[in-house]
């Protein structure tokens, strides 16, 4: 067993020039090095060679899709997938002794990285009222205590059940079934913090919350936009798909305030030419856009396309498609024509000529795809930005045809599947009706609480019980101090987790740690070995089968924990066979197959190589919108603006972290080593603000209600970020995001585009870096 570090290493920043290419030999070497630090060569071998293979372990990293069976490489994973899987397969263990040594107060002082490095959780623990230590508790007592708290609530709506997209379809289905049978729709999830803006915009305009693109489509597009995403670190195998598209003749336009390494050049580690050569240039065009400028960019492009059609009628727009399949064109067009160029130029930081040259690329392309992620959704105007992207696609009929479409690139490996399974506080009546029909109880109809509203309700004392499944809510959520205070007001906080994180240290009066099997581990239940299923970003549903010996004999699977909790809480009302579900996940899938459209005959079809592709109505020419047609929308906007002396800040991921969990303090592609408390700023802004390279500053965000929030002790690093735009890592900067700073319509926190000031450190009272 590897020993975890007992003390934290002090930060020691070194900076090297940002890399101009991503993923090659150093990437693979780095993955192995990290894997072997965490686990044994045998375990690393098992995880890596079965990862993303038919009947193997689905990568617990991002939601990127696997190539079709027969087209998979023997090593069908990326550097970061290898890190994520071996972070779970680690041989380090946390035992009861650990919690005897470390009080909750002590653990709350530790960094996210240190907590994660302590290893896998191995037995259920409880922190009782008034105590500062977790102590062991049996499963029977832990679940009994939990059920008693739930049964004692005045209303089921005093509980919330948070999940991340790490959980399987089966566990997600059981969780939402339990919550609804208990009587609440309070099912906040990480999607509320992630692609919620995409979901709302796509639902409204295309009648589906999901992307419309398959890997095949990407391979055969003529033009692909990659907007507001950093695939080199966050969806590395997307680069293989983009490389393939380029070999088939596609051109790629990257839109980003940062020249991310993976967007520039890619060396494919799975191909000899990738390892040795210079790699493939990914982006043919790079638009160095200002933070929050994407709506203006697409509106500008749309205006140019409308004008091109005026000049050469019948040659630019897909008039037949617009006439037969869309609504709202006139109002959209009228508005788009009226947008002033000076506003577009000032919001994007791009010249009109540059945007015109992109229009020409579009005019040369018959099949266009737009991919996007957090750089688009995590803004106040995230929903209208996605709607404007849809306008752009609709104008030339770039949806529903091969090689075209909308591609929101999802984060967590099963975040899309969880939604399909009913994890959403606003599931439509059709789904709730099907639940009623299948299980014979009346699910609550009133919408539940999403993530931001859960925090508001906890802060007001309206929530007494919080359950977190497979996430780290207090670090993922905005306004860290407010969120932590809100959590501490709960009577019971409980987490079903594989590894220790800060959410376990921010306790309600009573707190439970319910340790669980990870996806890498063999899952044996009463009827034998089980597998689970997941859905990727391209709506492919496939199975995942664990291979490793569980980290401890005391672990239960997520399904088992949730089924037992449901059974103990509901006591037969309504009558749901939780014990059968725990014994045989196939019995859960049978129920799912009768509720979820497209998953009929689930058990039989999902074991076929490659699994099931869920149908997307858009690709069958159907738009399930209110109008029964695809909808053009009019999107008014105001460019986010930083007043004099301020910058727009985005909070983002380094190359070496999984969401709230940093693996190391390095961000190799960006040339940052040894510290995460850095703020990346354009050198001209550093000069204009009267700051110096490597100066220590506090980041101070200013919010419209006059309040300010401070993240102390960051080093200023000159970086080729767009003018006026800075970047710093999440979750250290979540403290800066006001709880009320949310996207219009989707209520998603604005993790990008915060207005901040950089104050020389030590000028405010009460300074001191916090983990």
Ligand X SMILES: Nc1nc2c(c(=O)[nH]1)N[C@H]1C(S)=C(S)[C@@H](COP(=O)(O)OP(=O)(O)OC[C@H]3O[C@@H](n4cnc5c(=O)[nH]c(N)nc54)[C@H](O)[C@@H]3O)O[C@H]1N2
Q: Kindly list the residues in this chain that would bind ligand SF4 in the complex (CB under 6 A).
A: 52, 59, 61-62, 64, 77-78, 80-81, 235-237
Q: Which does 730 bind (CB under 5 to 8 A by kind): ligand SF4, Mo ion, ligand X, none?
A: ligand X
Q: How far is the CB of 164 from Mo ion (least distance, A)?
A: 8
The candidate with the shortest Cα–Cα distance to 386, out of 752, 743, 638, is: 743
Binding mask 27-66 for ligand X (x = CB under 6 A): ----------------------------------xx----
Q: Which does 737 bind (CB under 5 to 8 A by kind): ligand X, ligand SF4, Mo ion, none?
A: ligand X
232-261 positions binding ligand X, by CB under 6 A: 233-235, 255-258, 260
Q: Which is nearer to ligand SF4, 399 or 548 (CB)?
A: 548
CA 246 vs CA 220, 251, 289, 360, 402: distances in Å: 9, 6, 23, 18, 16
Report the alpha-carbon distance of residue 14 to residue 694 in Å, rounded.
10
Binding mask 746-765 for ligand X (x = CB under 6 A): -----xx-------------
Q: Which is nearer to Mo ion, 60 or 411 (CB)?
A: 411
Half-sphere exposure for 632 (CA within 13 Å, toward CB): 26
Q: Which does 473 bind (CB under 5 to 8 A by kind): ligand SF4, Mo ion, ligand X, none?
A: ligand X
Q: How far is the CB of 85 from ligand SF4 (least distance, A)?
A: 8
Q: Which is nearer to Mo ion, 211 or 411 (CB)?
A: 411
- Identify the residue whose tokens are 């860290």: 480
Q: Which is nearer to ligand SF4, 78 or 143 (CB)?
A: 78
Q: Is the Cβ–Cβ distance between 264 and 282 less than 8 Å?
A: yes
Q: Which is nearer to ligand X, 431 or 473 (CB)?
A: 473
Q: Is the Cβ–Cβ distance between 647 and 758 less than 8 Å?
A: yes
Structure-token pair, residue 315? 């040659």
Q: How far is the CB of 630 from ligand X (least distance, A)?
A: 24
Q: What residues contact residue 179 under an 8 Å CB cut-off, 6+ apart?
A: 159, 161, 185, 186, 187
Q: Which does 383 bind (CB under 5 to 8 A by kind): ligand X, Mo ion, ligand SF4, none?
A: none
Q: How far is the CB of 552 from ligand X (least distance, A)?
A: 14
97-136 positions binding Mo ion, by CB under 5 A: none
Among 137, 206, 227, 556, binds ligand X (CB under 6 A): 227
* Interface size with ligand X, residues (CB under 6 A): 60
Binding of residue 164 to ligand X (CB under 6 A):
yes
Q: Is 678 exposed, middle or buried (0-12, 13-18, 19+ CB in 10 A)?
A: buried
Report the alpha-carbon distance of residue 501 to residue 497 in Å, rounded.
9
The answer to whether the bond into 14 is cis (omega within 30° of 0) is: no
Q: How far is the CB of 59 from ligand SF4 (least distance, A)?
A: 3
Report the alpha-carbon distance of residue 138 to residue 140 in Å, rounded.
5
Q: How far is the CB of 69 from Mo ion (least distance, A)?
A: 27
User: What SS3 state is found at 700?
Assistant: strand
The candidate with the shortest Cα–Cα distance to 6, out of 89, 106, 73, is: 106
192-221 positions binding Mo ion, by CB under 5 A: 194
Q: How far is the CB of 1 from ligand X (least distance, A)?
A: 19
Binding of residue 559 to ligand X (CB under 6 A):
no
Q: Which is nearer to ligand X, 373 or 563 (CB)?
A: 373
Q: What residues contact residue 306 under an 8 Å CB cut-off, 6+ apart?
A: 317, 333, 336, 337, 395
Q: What is the DSSP string of 397-461?
A: T-SSSTT-EEEE--SBTTHHHHHHTT-STT--HHHHHHHHHHH-S----S----HHHHHHHHHTT
Report the alpha-carbon distance of residue 648 to residue 250 in Å, rounded.
33
Structure-token pair, residue 216? 């095949």
Report the alpha-carbon distance of residue 528 to residue 237 in Å, rounded.
34
Q: Is the Cβ–Cβ distance between 124 and 515 less than 8 Å?
A: yes
Beta bridge partners of 696: 715
Q: Which is nearer to ligand X, 326 or 667 (CB)?
A: 667
70-129 positions binding ligand X, by CB under 6 A: 80
Q: Which is nearer to ligand X, 230 or 635 (CB)?
A: 230
Report the alpha-carbon distance of residue 638 to residue 744 in Å, rounded.
12
Q: What residues contact residue 346 under an 8 Å CB cut-off, 6+ apart?
A: 639
Q: Which is nearer to ligand X, 193 or 631 (CB)?
A: 193
Q: How far is the CB of 473 from ligand X (least distance, A)?
A: 6
Q: How far is the CB of 281 from ligand SF4 (least distance, A)?
A: 20
Q: Which does 81 bind (CB under 5 to 8 A by kind): Mo ion, ligand X, ligand SF4, none?
A: ligand SF4
Q: How many other CB atoms are found less than 10 A from the CB of residue 507?
A: 24
Q: Which is nearer to ligand X, 243 or 521 (CB)?
A: 521
Pairing of strands 510-515, 492-497: parallel
Report the alpha-carbon distance of residue 733 to residue 478 in Å, rounded.
9
Q: Which does 326 bind (CB under 5 to 8 A by kind): ligand X, Mo ion, ligand SF4, none?
A: none
- Identify the residue whose tokens are 């500008």: 300
Q: How far is the CB of 246 from Mo ion (least distance, A)?
A: 27
CA 525 vs CA 124, 352, 572, 581, 713: distances in Å: 19, 62, 22, 10, 50
Q: Which does 512 bind (CB under 5 to 8 A by kind): ligand SF4, ligand X, Mo ion, none?
A: none
631-660 positions binding ligand X, by CB under 6 A: 650-653, 657-660
Provide the H-helix boundaries in 653-771. Answer: 683-688
Among 145, 153, 193, 370, binds ligand X (CB under 6 A): 193
Q: Which is nearer to ligand X, 431 or 729 (CB)?
A: 729
For residue 711, the 8-state DSSP code is E
The candidate with the shortest Cα–Cα distance to 153, out of 440, 462, 399, is: 462
Q: How far is the CB of 191 from Mo ion (least distance, A)?
A: 7
Of the ranges 137-145, 187-195, 244-252, 390-398, which one interacts with Mo ion (CB under 5 A)? 187-195
CA 226 vs CA 107, 230, 258, 374, 524: distances in Å: 40, 9, 13, 11, 42
Q: How far is the CB of 242 from ligand SF4 (least distance, A)?
A: 12
383-412 positions binding ligand X, by CB under 6 A: 411-412
Q: How far is the CB of 350 from ligand SF4 (least distance, A)?
A: 30
Q: Which is nearer to Mo ion, 269 or 411 (CB)?
A: 411
Structure-token pair, residue 515? 């340790």
Binding mask 298-337 for Mo ion (x = CB under 5 A): ----------------------------------------
Cα R_g (the chain), whole angstroms: 25
Among 411, 550, 713, 738, binds Mo ion (CB under 5 A): 411
Q: Which is nearer to ligand X, 204 or 523 (CB)?
A: 523
Report the alpha-carbon distance of residue 270 to residue 737 in Å, rounded.
40
Q: Which residues bind Mo ion (CB under 5 A)?
A: 194, 411
Contacts to ligand X by CB under 6 A: 61-62, 80, 164, 166, 190, 193-194, 227-230, 233-235, 255-258, 260, 289, 291-292, 294, 373-375, 378, 411-412, 469-473, 476, 496-499, 501, 516, 518-519, 558, 650-653, 657-661, 730, 733-734, 737, 751-752
């Amino acid at each position: 067993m590897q020993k975890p570090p007992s003390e934290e290493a002090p930060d020691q920043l070194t900076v090297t020039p940002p890399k101009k290419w991503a993923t090659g030999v150093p990437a693979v070497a780095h993955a192995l090095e990290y894997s072997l630090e965490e686990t044994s060569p045998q375990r690393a071998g098992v995880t890596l060679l079965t990862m993303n293979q038919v009947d193997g372990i689905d990568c617990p990293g991002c939601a990127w899709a696997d190539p079709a069976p027969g087209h998979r490489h023997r090593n069908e994973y990326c550097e970061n997938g290898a890190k994520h899987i071996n972070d779970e397969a680690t041989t380090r263990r946390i035992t009861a002794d650990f919690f005897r040594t470390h009080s909750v107060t002590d653990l709350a002082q530790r960094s996210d990285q240190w907590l994660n490095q302590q290893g896998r959780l191995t037995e259920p623990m409880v922190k009782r009222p008034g105590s500062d230590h977790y102590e062991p508790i049996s499963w029977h007592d832990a679940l009994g205590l939990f059920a008693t708290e739930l049964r004692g609530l005045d209303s089921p709506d005093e509980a919330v059940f948070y999940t991340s997209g790490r959980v399987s379809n089966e566990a997600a289905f059981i969780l939402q079934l339990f919550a609804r049978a208990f009587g609440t729709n309070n099912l906040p999830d990480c999607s509320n913090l992630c692609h919620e803006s995409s979901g709302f915009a796509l639902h409204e305009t295309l009648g589906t919350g999901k992307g419309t693109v398959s890997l095949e489509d990407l391979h055969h597009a003529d033009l692909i936009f990659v907007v507001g995403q950093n695939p080199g670190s966050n969806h590395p195998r997307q680069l293989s798909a983009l490389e393939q598209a380029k070999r088939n003749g596609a051109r790629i336009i990257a839109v980003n305030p940062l020249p991310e390494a993976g967007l520039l050049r890619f060396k494919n580690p799975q191909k000899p030419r990738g390892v040795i050569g210079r790699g493939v240039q990914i982006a043919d065009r790079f638009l160095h856009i200002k933070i929050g400028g994407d709506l203006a960019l697409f509106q500008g492009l749309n205006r140019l396309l409308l004008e091109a059609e005026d000049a050469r009628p019948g040659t630019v727009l897909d008039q037949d498609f617009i006439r037969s399949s869309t609504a709202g064109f006139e109002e959209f067009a009228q508005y788009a024509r009226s947008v002033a160029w000076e506003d577009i130029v000032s919001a994007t930081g791009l010249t009109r000529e540059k945007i015109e040259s992109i229009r020409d690329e579009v005019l040369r392309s018959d099949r266009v795809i737009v991919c996007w992620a957090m750089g688009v959704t995590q803004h106040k105007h995230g929903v209208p930005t996605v709607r404007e992207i849809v306008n752009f696609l609709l104008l030339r009929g770039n949806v529903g045809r091969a090689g075209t479409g909308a591609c929101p690139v999802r984060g967590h490996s099963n975040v899309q599947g969880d939604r399909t399974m009913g994890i959403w506080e606003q599931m439509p009546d059709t789904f709730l009706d099907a639940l009623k029909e299948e299980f014979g109880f009346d699910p609550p109809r009133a919408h539940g609480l999403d993530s931001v509203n859960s925090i508001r309700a906890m802060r007001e004392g309206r929530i007494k019980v919080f359950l977190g499944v497979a996430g780290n809510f207090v670090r993922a959520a905005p306004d860290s101090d407010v969120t932590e205070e809100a959590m501490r007001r709960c009577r019971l906080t409980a987490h079903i987790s594989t590894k220790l994180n800060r959410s376990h240290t921010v306790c309600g009066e009573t707190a439970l740690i319910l340790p669980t099997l990870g996806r890498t581990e063999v899952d044996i239940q009463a009827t034998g070995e089980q597998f689970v299923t997941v859905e990727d970003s391209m709506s492919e549903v496939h199975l995942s089968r664990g291979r490793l010996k569980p980290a401890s004999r005391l672990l239960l699977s997520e399904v088992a924990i949730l089924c037992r909790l449901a059974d103990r809480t509901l006591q037969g009302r309504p009558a749901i066979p939780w014990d059968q579900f725990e014994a045989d996940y196939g019995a859960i899938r049978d129920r799912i197959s009768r509720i979820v459209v497209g998953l009929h005959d689930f058990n039989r079809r999902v074991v076929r190589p490659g699994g099931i592709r869920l149908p997307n109505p858009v690709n069958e020419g159907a738009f399930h919108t209110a109008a029964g047609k695809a909808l053009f929308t009019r999107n008014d906007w105001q460019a986010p603006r930083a007043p004099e002396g301020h910058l727009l800040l985005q909070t983002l991921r380094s190359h070496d972290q999984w969401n709230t969990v940093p693996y190391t303090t390095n961000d190799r592609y960006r040339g940052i080593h040894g510290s995460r408390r850095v703020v990346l700023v354009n050198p001209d802004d550093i000069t204009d603000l009267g700051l110096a390279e490597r100066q220590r500053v506090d980041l101070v965000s200013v919010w419209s209600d006059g309040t300010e929030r401070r993240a102390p002790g960051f080093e200023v690093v000159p970086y080729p970020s767009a003018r006026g735009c800075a970047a710093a890592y999440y979750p250290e900067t979540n403290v800066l995001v006001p709880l009320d700073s949310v996207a219009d319509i989707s209520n998603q926190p604005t993790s990008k585009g915060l207005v901040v000031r950089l104050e020389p450190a030590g000028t405010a009272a009460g300074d001191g870096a916090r983990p």
